[in-house]
Chain A
Amino acid sequence: MQASETTVDPSEVAKFEAMAAEWWDPNGKFKPLHMLNPCRLDYITTQIAAEYNRDLGGERPFDGLRILDIGCGGGLLCEPMARLGATVIGVDAAERNIPVAQAHAAQSGLTIDYRFGTAEALAEAGEQFDVVLNMEVVEHVADPQAYTTACQQLLKPGGLMICSTINRNAKSFAMAIVGAEYVMRWLPKGTHEWSKFITPDELYGLIENAGLTPVDRKGFVFNPITWQWKLSDRDLSVNYVTASVKPQQT
């Protein structure tokens, strides 16, 4: 699979490659992602369960679902999805992440298909999924509309896309760049470019232009007292997540 002819911004990929080995250390460089992960998983699992009428209390509730995680990194989302019974394909444009993720899945006793590549290349190859996870990726790509359209092509009719990103306003600049990168040093400086952040309206525009129907959105809100992330119905001011479905007839 080729990663070159796509919307991936090469300098972005290089930044993450440099961090790849640290993926699974909860107190390492990806600590903020580990902190956010329970909240992301709550949203993802609830949305999938609602869309496909699954009981999250049961054994392997996602049995039979084919799930794609774009920008899978070390497998922080792929592994939970596989544990819940889904057939999981994780794709990452940073080649070095793939062996890291594969090694960890083997340690966890999970079967996950990790591939070096991009959403666009998978779409061209005609692959289709019940669920596409598009988490914290769209703010890093060179052409968000082309990328979102590729995600739409990757969905089966009736399929579900979960997409999270970071809002663009003064607060998100203060929190995600000054706070997370400079003050807390949660993320390496230069992880994010504020100008690439996307407002909820812009994201809905991208989703609708791609031919998907937005069905839900929530904020991820960090509480500095409890030191935890929580889902919020109203506060989409910094990190937020959306669910959208591909119409049955396209």
Chain B
Amino acid sequence: MDKRFDIIIVGGGLNGATLALGLARLGLRSLVIDAQSQSAQMDGSFDGRSYAMALTSVRLMQSLGLWDALADQAQPMLDIKVFDGNLTNGPSPFHMHFDHTEIEEGPMGHMVEDRHLRPVLHNAVADQNLITYLSQTRVVSQSIDDMLASVTCDNGMTYQAQLIIGADGRSSQTAQRAGIKRTGWQYPQTALVCAIEHDLPHHGTAYQYFLPPGPLAILPLRGNRSSIVWSETPRQADTILSLSDDDFLDILRPRFGSFLGDIRLAGKRFSYPLGISMTKTYISDRLALVGDAAHGVHPIAGQGLNAGLRDIAALCDVIDQARTRGEDFASINVLTRYQEWRRFDNQSLGLATDFFNKLFSNDNPVLRLGRTVGMGVINASPTMRRGFIREAAGLTGELPRWMQ
């Protein structure tokens, strides 16, 4: 096996695989190093995980030639309905309704299941001869000098490239080894995630309820199925997690009423403690971070994967432009352009989701009144509503070429 590549990507999950495919489009050879076995990445059984892929993320998949394999199993999100509710009175009369027909670009996004997305990416990686994929391998050290970056793995081998990219998640070892500090905080919330089957069709509508313990999202999947992302206080979440499936459903049912008919579980239940985690910088010499390795946001708006894909599209743009100009694409000058492009967006997203979460996860009557009036105002204003829809579809900010 070769030991010299253009780029080394640490982490072979959704972000790492997409990034390698993007770089291959630019003619760059990459080595992807992943700690998991490839069969774990390719496991096609449904575990209930799914992603709300924004329109821009869908466009990236199209640009990379991957969307055709995903489209049949993806559920377009045609409407988003947002309610402010409490557990006794149900949804308040004020709500917001975002309809994709209000923007010309079409559906705001698509719900894509993890069991479909992962194999599509990994099959494409396997078919791409510019990508070398090392599974069940961990990086033990990395070093960077004027010209080259190198990593040494637990297989005893050392690999070299012009650039290392960390796509290794919130607890990125790549960032740690580079001495990049993180900042962040935990929320007093745990997300419970599962998929349900329901008797009545969802008509492509996503529902978001702001309940005092935290938001509850019902996101449409193919068929009469939906993905549930439900936030509770950690103590409550622990109690709910320990319940049997039947008891779990008994607690879930009253939370969003009966409009989908009776519901059943369709897959495993997961839980994630919620928190924000951001690095002080996304770059250092011959090193860049993408996705959660750089910024993990509260998953309140389903924006984690979307933000990561946007990092990837932006980084590929910056690298491509630099190569066309003859610049050293791994120089700090070039990487700074990536950081400046993405950091502002990601920090705004982190703060906005934090703000929304704090505003809505609260039973304070003053805040309740304020937000019900606010939702009424937003719902009454077509301009503001279109603004929210475009934000949800990922259409705000400067778009990378593959997302236009």
The chain A residues found within 8 Å of chain B, CB to CB, are: 26, 34, 37-38, 41-42, 45, 56-57, 59, 62, 79-84, 107-109, 227
Asked whether A38 lies within 8 Å of B327 as measured between CB atoms, the reply is yes
Asked whether B326 lies within 8 Å of A79 as measured between CB atoms, the reply is yes
What count of chain B residues pass the 8 Å CB interface test? 16
A107 to B27, CA, bound (A): 24
In the assembled complex, B136 has its CB within 8 A of some CB on chain A = no
In the assembled complex, B332 has its CB within 8 A of some CB on chain A = yes
Closest to B27 in A: A59
A-B interface contact total, Cβ < 8 Å = 40
B interface, over-half SS: helix
Closest to A81 in B: B326
Listed from nearest, the 5 A-B pairs whose CB atoms lie closest are A80-B326, A41-B325, A84-B326, A83-B326, A26-B333
Asked whether B336 lies within 8 Å of A80 as measured between CB atoms, the reply is no
Among A34, A56, A107, A227, the residue within 8 A (CB) of B324 is A56
Among B27, B325, B332, the residue within 8 A (CB) of A80 is B325
In the assembled complex, B380 has its CB within 8 A of some CB on chain A = no
Q: Which residues of A contact B332 (CB under 8 A)?
A: 26
Closest to B334 in A: A38
A-B contact pairs, 12 of them (CB 8 A): A26-B333, A38-B321, A41-B325, A59-B27, A62-B326, A80-B327, A83-B327, A84-B326, A107-B146, A108-B328, A109-B147, A227-B340
Asked whether B147 lies within 8 Å of A108 as measured between CB atoms, the reply is yes
Interface residues of B in 309-344 (CB under 8 A from A): 321-322, 324-328, 331-333, 336-337, 340
A244 to B324, CA, bound (A): 22
Shortest Cβ distance from A132 into chain B, in angstroms? Answer: 17
Q: Which residues of B contact A45 (CB under 8 A)?
A: 324-326
The chain B residues found within 8 Å of chain A, CB to CB, are: 27, 146-147, 321-322, 324-328, 331-333, 336-337, 340
Shortest Cβ distance from A28 into chain B, in angstroms? Answer: 12
A88 to B13, CA, bound (A): 42
Among B146, B326, B340, the residue within 8 A (CB) of A41 is B326
Q: Which residues of B contact A83 (CB under 8 A)?
A: 326-328
Asked whether B326 lies within 8 Å of A57 as measured between CB atoms, the reply is no
Asked whether A107 lies within 8 Å of B147 as measured between CB atoms, the reply is yes
A82 to B325, CA, bound (A): 11
Asked whether A41 lies within 8 Å of B147 as measured between CB atoms, the reply is no
Q: Which residues of A contact B327 (CB under 8 A)?
A: 37-38, 41, 80, 83
Asked whether A57 lies within 8 Å of B147 as measured between CB atoms, the reply is no
A26 to B331, CA, bound (A): 10
Q: Which residues of B contact A62 (CB under 8 A)?
A: 326
Q: Which residues of B contact A57 (CB under 8 A)?
A: 324
Closest to A45 in B: B325
Residue with the highest number of chain A CB atoms closer than 10 Å, among B322, B333, B336: B333
Q: A26-B332, A26-B333, A26-B336 are in contact. Are A38 and B325 (CB under 8 A)?
A: yes
Q: Which residues of B contact A41 (CB under 8 A)?
A: 325-327
